[in-house]
Amino acid sequence: MRTSFQGYFTWLIRHRLAVLVGMAALVAIAAAGASRVRIDYTIEQFFPGWGPERETYDRYKASFPKEDAQISLFWKDSRSAGVALYRDLQRAAAAFERAGLDDVQWLGSFAIAEVEEVGGESGLRVHPLIEEEKLSDTYIKDVLSRYRDDDNYRGFLWNSAQGVFAVHGALKPQDMGDDLRRREIEETLAEDLSSLEREGTTFALSGIPVVRSRIPKLLDEDQRLLVSAALILFLAVFFVFFRHIGQVALCLLSVFPAYLCTVGLIGLAGKSITVLTGFIPIIVLVVGGSDIVHLLSRYRQVRLDESDNTTAVVEAFSDLAIPCFYTSLTTAIGFLSLIGTRIAMVMDFGAFTAVAIFLTFGFSMTLLPVLLSFYARKKFDDRGLQAGWIRRAVEAAVAVRARPSRRVVAVFFLVALLGLGLGTRVRTDAYLVDDLKQDTQLIRDLRWIEDEGFGLFQVNLFMEQTGEEPLHHPAALSWMEDFQAYVRDDPVVAGTIALPDYLKSLRRVALGGNREDGTLPSTLEESSQLIFLAELQDADFFTDVYRPLEGEAQVIVMVRDEGSIAMRPFLEKVDRFIERNPPPVGTAVSTGTVKLILNYTDQVLRNFGPSLVIAVILILGVMSHMFRSIRHGLLALIPNFFPLLVLMGVMKVMCFDLKPSTILVFSIAFGIAVDDSIHVLSRFRQAVAAGTSLETALEKTLRDTGPAILMTSLVVSVGFSLLMASRFEVLFLVGFMTTVSAVAAVSACLFAFPSLIALVWGRAERCQPITTGLIVEA
């Protein structure tokens, strides 16, 4: 096997100019393809890609798309309600229309129905809640007082104290899926509204389109800053280690094409850059950099004793080709385990990250040796590789190894057990807008809006007619009303609106009843007449809650983002009501953005455990094949659980909740730990196969692999710790927890793993030479 690699690397160097031309052409093609890849941060990416719940959601959204299209302005004013406040809201509504929004609703446009006598006969007239021609302070206060507690308006046009008022508008259908257009509308609207700001006013622009617009913008800013900073630090750390600007540049040249090709493949697959695949540059930089540390360190060691540079390159890369292949393979398997979540965006992230890791390995084994072959220098400045802290850490690991193995292993076992005990108490909780830190303006606006009594998110009850009886049948209306009463007092509910609210209001007006008369139509004929009269005046009067021709209706339940701990029991409560009290007319099912986001969270958490188990089994199989021994494969796997258990303990101590963003870290942590143990065990087996005694082999292993492992751990820690500066909580958690796992992994591999090897190494293995499997002697 080693001979084959020697022939391969010799061939590469012999044809290095042709290889460079071929690589340049490949990178040019990849760059052309990458430039056409679109960015997509739509919220539907977080939903399960298939299944009955997704089918129901898609069918529902085809009929009632407004929730995901609605942009809302919430205006708090120190002035009492009157003409001055009305004019400011009118200007805000005009700004909505200038921005290109449809169906703008506010005090001066929201339609209500009233009975009016014309020529001695009564008729139903639909008109704005506040009519321009009647405008006065007294008139406005009278209207607001009359409708103050009406569920049709409270929580939509104003809050219960009538201290905050709202203006709503909806994106045009063609703009809903256009990220650039959505961002343009949001930015234009925000700039226009800023001119209305005055002393004594507080307002916030929000809604799902606003969240979709601002999050990508913030993420793009963070990625530009953090990836640039990571690149600078990456190069700085490599320069400190290798003290050679040319070799530092080679590191970058070997890693960058891998990311470029990955983005090109994303485009070829018809995919887009998402919130998660935006992480790939840093992952490629860190994972690729770790392999390059081992490769350059080995190259320098060989070059000291080898006069011919080409021979040194061939020998160094032939020694590490298989270990680096297996570290890439096991890391890729860790990310591929995310495919088990069945969430399209997470699956894409796992698959394309795995591809990027293998592309990084490919370029490291093709481009890097070719570039190194141009060097004529024999001696290098290795002060960075022999830094005092590295020497002290390696000597400490050797000293720990000299102590009784059982005690060392027992200490690490107790730490792992403590982590497991704390980890079992980690709370599972996730919010609907869970990406940003709580102190960002977007999150503060959301919390302020909810505190003022509004709900930006909805749980929707989707009803479909199945027989001859329409959904405005009195029995169906009564059932909807019962459901509204059932959920209205739940702490997460900000308000409800449905067809019964519209018809009760119409009936009260038509019959001249007082404000306390809130009975539903008693017959199908009566409800049909009310619908006919209202639509005669305004064809879109019921569009938000009822489509009689299509036989579809919805009950809108506006909810606060209280986290999955509160939302999950509420959704179970909704489904329990439907199951125990099926509608007398048609069918009903709960759906909407909130439910699918919660299902996404549950599905990721539910499926990750089995996916991780499968990944562990696959990695065990890979390492057993690598070492030609199941026992040695299992031995190499044991220390890799230590970082995961430490992470669980840290999560509990730091009060981090278990959610999709923290789950992703386990895949990264597992892959990093496996890399270190493969290098340690492979070097140890080489030493033993060469006839070295057990203790000498372990000491030699620590001295040979320790510096590179410490350097790669520093590269990982520095690269990922930069993410802690992000405004996104998900990036902060990935940065913090990956840094913790890197420290735990290097501790396990250098301080515990050698003692574990000494403890379990069989007598036969101590006395007899072992087969090297796919690991060749140095």
| pLDDT 10s digits, 81-91 | 889 999 999 99
Is the same domain home to 641 and 736? yes
**Mean pLDDT of the chain, nearest integer:** 81
Tell me whether residue 563 is in a domain.
Answer: yes
Is the same domain home to 389 and 250? no
Tell me whether residue 553 is in a domain.
Answer: yes
Last residue of a domain, one of 536, 566, 597: 597
Give the pLDDT band of residue 482 (cuts 50, 70, 90). Answer: very high
d(CA 26, CA 49): 33
Cα–Cα separations (whole angstroms), residue 159 to 163, 164, 296: 7, 6, 65
Mean pLDDT of 232-253: 76
d(CA 765, CA 295): 29
Is the same domain home to 170 and 63? yes
Is the same domain home to 175 and 200? yes
Counting residues of the chain whose pLDDT is more than 90, the rounded percentage is 14
- What is the per-residue pLDDT across 299-328, written as a single tens digit (0 to 9) for each? 888 888 877 889 988 988 888 888 888 888
pLDDT at 153: 84
One-letter amino acid at 180 equals: L
Is the same domain home to 468 and 448? no
Tell me whether residue 540 is in a domain.
Answer: yes
If one counts the domains in the chain, the total is 3
| DSSP state for residue 216 in the 8-state scheme | H
Q: Does residue 484 surpass a pLDDT of 50?
A: yes
Tell me whether residue 660 is in a domain.
Answer: yes
Is the same domain home to 739 and 614? yes
Mean pLDDT of 341-351: 76
Q: Does residue 48 surpass a pLDDT of 70?
A: no
Which DSSP helix (H) or strand (E) runs through 714? helix 694-721
Q: Give me the domain span that covers residue 753.
A: 384-453+601-778
Last residue of a domain, one of 597, 621, 647: 597
Give the pLDDT band of residue 769 (cuts 50, 70, 90). Answer: very low
Q: Does residue 778 surpass a pLDDT of 70?
A: no
| Long-range contacts of 8-17, Cβ-Cβ distance < 8 Å, separation of 24 or more | 9/313, 9/314, 9/317, 9/318, 9/369, 10/310, 10/314, 12/366, 12/369, 12/370, 13/310, 13/313, 13/314, 13/369, 13/370, 13/373, 16/370, 16/373, 16/374
| Secondary structure (3-state) at 215 | helix
Contact criterion met (CB below 8 Å) for 450 and 494 = yes
Q: DSSP string covering 626-651, please?
A: HHT-HHHHHHHHGGGHHHHHHHHHHH
3-state helix/strand/coil string of 37-48: CCECCCHHHHCE
Is the same domain home to 629 and 773? yes
Tokens read off for 290: 């770790």
Q: DSSP string covering 232-287, please?
A: HHHHHHHHHHH--HHHHHHHHHHHHHHHHHHHHHHHHTT--B-TTGGGHHHHHHHH
Q: What does the radius of gyration of the chain's CA atoms come to, in whole angstroms?
A: 33
* CB neighbour burial string for 638-656, b if at least 16 within 10 angstroms, e if fewer: ebbbbbbbbbbbbbbeeeb
Q: At 670, which CATH number?
A: 1.20.1640.10
User: Across the strands, what pairs with 558?
Assistant: 458, 495
- What is the per-residue pLDDT across 357-413, written as a single tens digit (0 to 9) for each? 888 888 889 988 988 888 776 677 667 667 788 888 888 888 888 888 788 888 888
Counting residues of the chain whose pLDDT is more than 70, the rounded percentage is 89
173 phi/psi in degrees, rounded to 5: -55, -40
Strand 70-77 and strand 102-105: pairing?
unpaired
Tell me whether residue 541 is in a domain.
Answer: yes
Is the same domain home to 540 and 498? yes
| Secondary structure (3-state) at 546 | strand
657: left (phi over 0), alpha (psi -120 to 50) or beta: beta
Q: Does residue 117 surpass a pLDDT of 80?
A: no
Tokens read off for 612: 């991780």
- What is the per-residue pLDDT across 513-550, written as a single tens digit (0 to 9) for each? 555 556 888 899 989 988 888 887 778 888 889 999 99
Is the same domain home to 113 and 167? yes
Contact criterion met (CB below 8 Å) for 309 and 376 = yes
pTM for the whole structure: 0.73
d(CA 741, CA 645): 9
Is the same domain home to 30 and 68? no
pLDDT at 767: 46
Nearest Cα residue to 561 out of 435, 730, 647, 463: 435
Higher-confidence residue of 606 and 187: namely: 187
> Token pair 């070295």 is at which residue?
692
- What is the per-residue pLDDT across 122-179, written as a single tens digit (0 to 9) for each? 566 777 888 888 889 999 999 899 888 877 788 888 988 888 999 999 888 777 767 7
Last residue of a domain, one of 332, 351, 376: 376
Tell me whether residue 221 is in a domain.
Answer: no
Is the same domain home to 170 and 316? no
Is the same domain home to 173 and 187? yes
Tell me whether residue 217 is in a domain.
Answer: no
